[in-house]
Amino acid sequence: MKYYLAPLEGITTYIYRRAYHTHYRPMEKYFTPFLVPHTKKDFNTREKNDILPEHNPDMYLVPQILANDAKGFLDTVEKLKMYGYDEVNLNLGCPSKTVVSKGRGSGFLIYTEKLERFLDEIYAKADVKISIKTRIGKYDADEWGQLLDIYNKYPVEELIVHPRVQQQFYKGHPDLDAFADAVKECRHPLCYNGDIFTVEDMERLKKRFPEISCVMLGRGILRNPELTDIIESGGGRIDVKKLRAFHDQIFQDYQEVSSGDKNVLFKMKELWCYLGTLFPDKEKQLKKIRKAEKLDRYEAAVEEILYF
């Protein structure tokens, strides 16, 4: 099975990716949180830091672009080529209301004629590989058949499918019947994305879709960075020593690039929103992390959880 790390805005930045790649089973591909086209000649500092090859050593990184105009997409591709990238990913999956309200991400899916014109132009003019990450519609899974027909018209490098509609956000369950349609009809390499949190989740997916050989993991990895190792071995306990080394690298790196305790703690508390699910019996200590306003208080709370 091939594993990809999903792009999660503000979380799976180069700091997270680098620590993950150092301490855990390397992913076959990593995807950046989305880049939005702008008119500047180069990327801004935050964007540049995230895509610099030296910040992403020894990993296959695919920049993701969030766009609904072909010129902006193509301009961004040209900038990325200057950094050595020959594959990009088109974001047609983001369910955020601020993104969807502008007709981007999964908000683009409802405008099928405009979407086709957009794809016509980018696939005709871009001299890089373009994969697509998509949901199955905006309002209803009935939209999925038409979207699949559209994707099948283009030389899509890979189709990554999160089988929910935009309106669901992350609620309910992935629509595996809709994904079955993709398995049957899609003419491109296919990757599954959505609600893989445990060995049992993966086993259910493999049982229904034995032909699937690629899975993108997002929230599951954030909750348990050891997830792919556990899946591949069929189970096992969390290696707290490894988790501590992973955490400490992220913590140290954020201190080096962020100014002030508040900014570092914001990032680390966001991470613990996911990691905390590994420690259901440590609610007292997790509460201390959430309430910490100084780094020393935060470190003391972490020590109570990640001791070995």
Q: Which listed residue (94, 191, 214, 273) is catalytic?
A: 94
Answer yes or no: is 133 a known binding residue.
yes
Is 219 annotated as ligand-binding?
Answer: yes
Q: Please say if the pLDDT value at position 236 is more than 80.
A: no
At 234, is the pLDDT very low, low, confident or very high (cuts 50, 70, 90)?
confident
On whether the CB atoms of residues 92 and 45 are closer than 8 A, the answer is no
Residue 273 bears catalytic tag: no
Q: What is the pLDDT of residues 69-108, one digit of tens each?
A: 999 999 999 999 999 999 999 999 999 999 999 999 999 9
For the chain, how many residues are written? 308
Among residues 240, 260, 70, the alpha carbon closest in space to that of 154 is found at: 70
Q: In whole angstroms, what is the distance from residue 49 CA to residue 45 CA?
A: 6
50 with 44: CB under 8 angstroms?
Answer: no
Instruction: Determine the Cα–Cα distance for residues 185 and 175; give it in Å rounded to an integer.
Output: 16
* pTM of the shown model: 0.96
Q: How far apart are CA 263 and CA 297, in angstroms?
A: 15
In the predicted structure, residue 39 carries a pLDDT above the cut 90: no
What is the pLDDT at residue 213?
96
CA 274 to CA 9: how far, in whole Å?
A: 14
218 carries a ligand binding annotation:
yes
